């Protein structure tokens, strides 16, 4: 009778603690643990290319969760994530390569520096709303990139900087799977933090600001504090993702952090689902793997139409745009919503209601 | 002083084209509260279509221009019907993202059809520069300025006096009230998108005549954003004044500050200006801030 795939059913909560619990019943907890263990065992079965993709997905998930805290949960639109990734990456590069500090110091410092830059550009958010704020963050994107590419003495200008993979003692995270584990562990921390954030006073204040900021202010929420705080927390994770990415690719240069990257991150949280941690991860995986999937499709087509290879980049662009539009029109709540629909379907299966 | 005047004139000319493209943003924002980030791609498409008609089909320029505007108008209608109408009540970010996606889609299409190399319009205007005192102006610039001014004037009159223009302003002001007074809101939206697309195409044709056409031209969609924000998203005079201010400031920054910092400031300068302005006037120079109720 103890079928592990049976869904929880009904809503019989009698205490507030139960309502706030992350795992509603024990079986869900076991299932989540199983999922985490699967993620840990996965490199044993896969080859380096697949592990590399998984690492990129994990890093993107950290950044997407960060952005979702700001945009999905607090309702502040940001089109400047790309530049904030750059701040994280460059901070880590300068600290480890130029100053010779350890990666383990540089990573949190990169997060903190990005958080303070994010908070700085979040200050206008008190007076700006919606589209005006979106443009202000877009301005942040251009200004930060300009500083990065012009401050040659610090950042190496357009030629960029070279980084090393981190190490503990004599053990270096050179191999694909070891770096994957590092990113996965940080991702798990991020998930746990984000899940708990929205059970706390701060997180609920964020939700109130999103839903109706004037009402929130009347109820005693200090808008300025919480808006800037959400920019800081969000940028912290984006900065961590940026630093991890920089040490993964082992190079930083201005063109890696263009407006395209910002748009990709926005696409991740929209395709995944605004205001959903699970959605951020699903979206990050989807958008990271989309070019890979399209590559397969193109290889298949190229057999019949050899000159199609030249238009590959254009085809990526076109497909990316089409995917976003289709998602927005047909599934505005994103992959997270599709997933919950599937779950609901099986909850009552084989009956339809 | 001559250098200053030269910078001023080129700023005014570029600014007038900015104003034209910004007008496309403002129109769409006024009618449907959306920011059209695919505007740069509309500019690009208009420019390419006209170029193809002129060079490949050997049509006379004015005929080609008329056909281009027609095609772009239909494109605008199509975009509104297929992409924007399903998102009528969606949150701001979804609409922004949809137009970004649309921009990607159109850019992909353009790259597939026309490739990446720069193409040049055949000379439509004489090449010998006209001199005013010591300031040199290429006729292309002069004509662009005249055409843009005429168009902006025409639009101002259209919005003030024509039935459609009044309907558009009514919809912009209060959608529900306008609908209950018998204005066909869907039709107004569709026509707004068509006009915005046509305006972008005119900008594209003029820019193409000045610099030639290539894929990077769509950047103008982002360059113009500070203009729109500076003037205020919902103000047509704002778009015009903002266009000139940003055009002149950009030209000055390019002439005087760029040599000091090693170039590149020209592109960023409008954004710095905009951030500073927004700190003081959060809705731009002419924009209206709404009243908020709980």
Does the beta-carbon distance from B278 to A136 stay under 8 Å? yes
pLDDT per position as a tens digit, B125-170: 777 777 777 777 778 788 888 888 888 888 888 888 888 888 888 8
Residue A161 DSSP code: E
Count of CB atoms situated within 10 Å of the CB of A235: 34
Q: Write out chain B residues lying below 8 Å of A127, CB-based.
A: 278-279, 282
Degrees, nearest 5: CA angle B7-B9-B15: 100
Per-residue pLDDT of chain B (294 residues; tens, 9 = 90+): 778 888 888 888 888 888 888 888 888 887 777 788 888 899 999 999 998 888 888 888 888 889 999 999 999 999 999 988 888 778 888 888 899 999 999 988 888 888 777 888 777 777 777 777 777 777 878 888 888 888 888 888 888 888 888 888 888 777 788 888 888 888 888 998 999 899 899 988 888 888 788 878 888 888 888 888 888 888 888 888 899 999 998 888 888 887 777 667 788 888 888 888 888 888 878 877 666 666
Q: Do B106 and B72 touch, CB atoms closer than 8 A?
A: no
pLDDT per position as a tens digit, A125-157: 877 777 888 888 989 999 999 889 888 888 887
Count of CB atoms situated within 10 Å of the CB of B143: 17
Q: Do B174 and B236 touch, CB atoms closer than 8 A?
A: no
**A 174-233 → B contacts, CB under 8 A:** 212, 214-215, 218
Does the beta-carbon distance from A267 to B108 stay under 8 Å? no
Q: With left for phi above 0 and alpha for psi between -120 and 50, is residue A200 left, alpha or beta?
A: beta
Does the beta-carbon distance from A317 to B104 stay under 8 Å? yes
Residue of B nearest to A307 (CA): B112
Question: What was the pLDDT predicted at A189?
Answer: 94
Q: Is the ipTM of this complex over 0.85?
A: yes
Q: Does B233 touch chain A (CB under 8 A)?
A: yes
Residue with tokens 């910092």: B261
Q: Do A265 and A103 touch, CB atoms closer than 8 A?
A: no
Does the beta-carbon distance from B83 to A134 stay under 8 Å? no
Nearest Cα of chain B lies from the Cα of A286 at a distance, in angstroms, of: 16
Q: Residue A322, preceding bond cis, omega within 30 degrees?
A: no
pLDDT per position as a tens digit, A172-195: 788 888 899 999 999 999 999 999
Does the beta-carbon distance from B97 to A317 stay under 8 Å? no
Q: Does A287 touch chain B (CB under 8 A)?
A: no
Q: Does A274 touch chain B (CB under 8 A)?
A: yes
pTM: 0.90
pLDDT per position as a tens digit, A316-326: 888 899 999 99
Q: Alpha helices, DSSP H only, in B136-234?
A: 139-161, 163-173, 175-180, 185-211, 220-223, 225-231
Residue of B nearest to A310 (CA): B112
**B 200-229 → A contacts, CB under 8 A:** 222, 225-226, 229
Residue of B nearest to A325 (CA): B98
């Amino acid at each position: 009778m103890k079928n592990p795939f049976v869904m929880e059913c009904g809503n019989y909560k009698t205490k507030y603690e139960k309502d706030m619990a992350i795992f509603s019943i024990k079986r869900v907890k076991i299932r989540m643990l199983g999922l985490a263990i699967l993620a840990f065992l996965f490199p044993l079965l896969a080859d380096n290319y697949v592990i590399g993709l998984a690492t990129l997905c994990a890093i993107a998930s950290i950044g997407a969760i960060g952005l979702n805290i700001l945009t999905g949960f607090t309702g502040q639109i940001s089109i400047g994530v790309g530049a904030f990734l750059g701040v994280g990456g460059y901070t880590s590069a300068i600290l480890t390569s130029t100053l010779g500090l350890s990666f383990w110091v540089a990573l949190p410092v990169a997060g903190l520096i990005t958080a303070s830059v994010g908070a700085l550009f979040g200050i206008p958010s008190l007076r700006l709303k919606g589209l005006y704020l979106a443009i202000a963050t877009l301005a942040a994107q251009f200004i930060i990139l300009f500083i990065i590419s012009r401050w040659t003495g610090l950042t190496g200008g357009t030629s960029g900087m070279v980084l090393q993979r981190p190490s503990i003692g004599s053990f270096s995270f050179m191999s694909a799977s070891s770096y994957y584990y590092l990113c996965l562990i940080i991702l798990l921390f991020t998930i746990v933090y984000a899940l708990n954030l929205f059970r706390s006073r701060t997180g609920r204040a964020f939700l109130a600001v999103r839903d109706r900021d004037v009402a929130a202010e009347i109820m005693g929420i200090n808008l300025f504090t919480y808006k800037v705080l959400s920019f800081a927390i969000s940028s912290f994770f984006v900065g961590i993702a940026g630093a991890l990415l920089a040490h993964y690719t082992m190079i930083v240069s201005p063109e890696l952090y263009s407006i395209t990257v910002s748009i990709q991150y926005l696409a991740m949280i929209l395709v995944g689902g605004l205001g959903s941690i699970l959605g951020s991860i699903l979206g990050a995986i989807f958008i990271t793997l989309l070019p890979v999937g399209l590559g397969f499709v193109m290889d298949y087509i190229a057999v019949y139409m050899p000159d199609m290879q030249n238009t590959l980049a254009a085809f990526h662009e076109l497909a990316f745009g089409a995917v976003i539009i289709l998602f927005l029109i047909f599934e505005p709540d994103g992959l997270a919503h599709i997933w919950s629909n599937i779950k609901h379907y099986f909850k009552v299966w084989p009956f339809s209601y | 002083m001559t250098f200053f005047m030269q910078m001023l004139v080129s700023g005014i000319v570029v600014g007038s084209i900015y104003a034209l493209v910004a007008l496309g943003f403002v129109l769409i924002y006024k009618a449907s509260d959306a920011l059209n980030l695919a505007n740069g791609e509309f500019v690009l498409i208009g420019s390419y279509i006209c170029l193809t008609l002129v060079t490949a089909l050997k049509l006379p320029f004015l005929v080609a221009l008329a056909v281009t505007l027609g095609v772009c108008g239909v494109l605008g209608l199509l975009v509104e019907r297929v992409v924007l109408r399903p998102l009528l009540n969606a949150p701001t970010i979804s609409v922004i993202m949809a137009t970004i996606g649309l921009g990607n889609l159109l850019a992909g299409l353009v790259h597939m059809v026309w490739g990446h190399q720069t193409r040049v319009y055949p000379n439509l205007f004489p090449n010998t520069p006209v001199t005013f005192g010591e300031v040199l102006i290429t006729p292309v610039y002069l004509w662009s300025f005249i055409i843009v001014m005429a168009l902006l004037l025409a639009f101002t009159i259209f919005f003030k006096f024509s039935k459609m223009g009044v309907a558009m302003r009514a919809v912009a002001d209060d959608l529900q009230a306008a609908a209950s007074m018998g204005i066909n809101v869907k039709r107004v939206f569709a026509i707004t998108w068509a006009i915005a697309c046509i305006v972008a195409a005119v900008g594209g044709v003029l820019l193409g005549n000045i610099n030639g056409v290539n894929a990077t031209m769509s950047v103008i969609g982002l360059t113009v954003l500070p203009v729109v924000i500076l003037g205020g998203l919902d103000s047509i005079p704002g778009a015009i004044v903002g266009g000139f201010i940003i055009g002149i400031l950009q030209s000055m920054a390019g002439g005087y500050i760029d040599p000091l910092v090693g170039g590149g400031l020209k592109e960023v300068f409008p954004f710095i200006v905009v951030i500073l302005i927004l700190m003081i006037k959060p809705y731009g120079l002419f924009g209206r801030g709404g009243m908020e109720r709980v």
